[in-house]
Amino acid sequence: MRRFSFILVWMAIARGAEGQDLNFSRVQDLTIWYNQSLKTDKMNSLKLDFRNVEYGGQIAYNSVSAMFDMPLLSKEAKDKNNSGYFSLSAAASSDKSNQGILTTTLGMLGLSYAVPISTNETYIAAGFQVGYYQSRLNVTGVEGAFGDEFNGYGPIENGISNDRLANGWDYGHFNVNAGASIFNNSKNNKWYLGASLIQLNKPYTDELKTDSLRLKMGIGIQGGYRYITSTDDEVGIYMIMNWQGGAYRHYFNLTYLKYLADVQGGAAVGVGLGYRYDDALVPDVELRYQKFIFALSYDINISSIAAAGIKRNGLELSMRIDF
């Protein structure tokens, strides 16, 4: 059974890692992960996410993410319309699979600049990111993971080592990403459209710098539109589309938010439905109070893995604080 769960975990992680990408569904808050130039407001923000994915009733992997982004502006400048600004972002994320078999971490620093191009809060922006990615495999104690001449303590004496899964092997590489966008922050209509190049440096994923194991450059497109009514209700639609080599990951999200005028300090409740292409439907609920946002979403698997009789689901918690 342990070997079976390991195989499932490996399939899930390998599929998710192929594009070297994040899987969080709250794309309207996490666009900066994909395009640094999409810091479309002048507020300091802290964003936290946790995602748990299960295959066949067993935990496959947990993902956590934290991001802080801030405009480099004085308090007075933040209230000024149609003014350019620099923004700085710092973030980290980690994935850990069942039994700690595979652990990945990603750290990122980014800088962007937005400049107004009209008097109605329309901007163009450009941004750059530098990140460091590390992955480590540990199959110690997993039944059937080692070859005939290799065990959990190392090579068998006088035998040829045959560690098929490279136990203990880890590698890391730097990523360089860049993006550009255009966005609008008018009172009732807020929208953005961006494009990004991911891993411009095409990093090697092995110590020998083998060309066949060098990552290909990725391409991303991001878009979103949010309409705010006269009563502060909101309707929004968001999308992100990523391609990298033979891998792709597309996500679309529709949201509705109802403002609660009777709550002192300002509050709202919302619902949404996301669609991860060829993978899952993702319904979610959202609560807002003043500058605090809390969201809960759940993956409903619609991918071809269901045909194999394997049930998969995912639960995600998101929090955002603006200040």
Query: In the prediction, which pLDDT does 201 show?
Result: 94
CATH number of 210's domain: 2.40.160.40
Query: In the prediction, which pLDDT does 304 show?
Result: 76
244, containing H or E segment: strand 234-244
Residue with tokens 């990004």: 196
Number of independent structural domains in the chain: 1
The secondary structure of 10-48 as a DSSP string is: HHHHHHHHTTT----S-TTT-HHHH-TT---SSS-EEEE
DSSP class of 73 = -
Domain span including residue 176: 2-322
Query: In the prediction, which pLDDT does 19 show?
Result: 37
Query: In the prediction, which pLDDT does 277 show?
Result: 92
Query: In the prediction, which pLDDT does 2 show?
Result: 46
Give dist(CA 109, CA 310) in Å, integer: 38
pLDDT along the chain (323 residues), means of 10: 44 42 83 95 96 79 94 88 94 88 92 95 97 83 56 53 56 93 95 96 86 91 97 96 90 97 93 94 96 95 73 90 94
Give dist(CA 278, CA 250) in Å, integer: 9
Calculate the dihedral angle through the C-alpha atoms of 300, 107, 27, 287, rounding to the nearest 10 degrees: 80
Take residue 217 and report the two structure tokens written for it.
């450059």
The model carries a pTM of 0.83
Query: In the prediction, which pLDDT does 282 show?
Result: 96
The secondary structure of 163-231 as a DSSP string is: -TT-TT-EEEEEEEEEEEEEEEE-SSEEEEEEEEEE-TT--BSSTT--GGGBPPPEEEEEEEEEEE-TT
Long-range contacts of 234-242 (CB under 8 A, 24+ apart): 234/259, 234/268, 234/270, 236/28, 238/27, 238/28, 239/27, 240/27, 240/31, 240/34, 242/19, 242/21, 242/34, 242/198, 242/218
Residue with tokens 């319904």: 283
- 321 — phi, psi (to 5°)? -125, 125
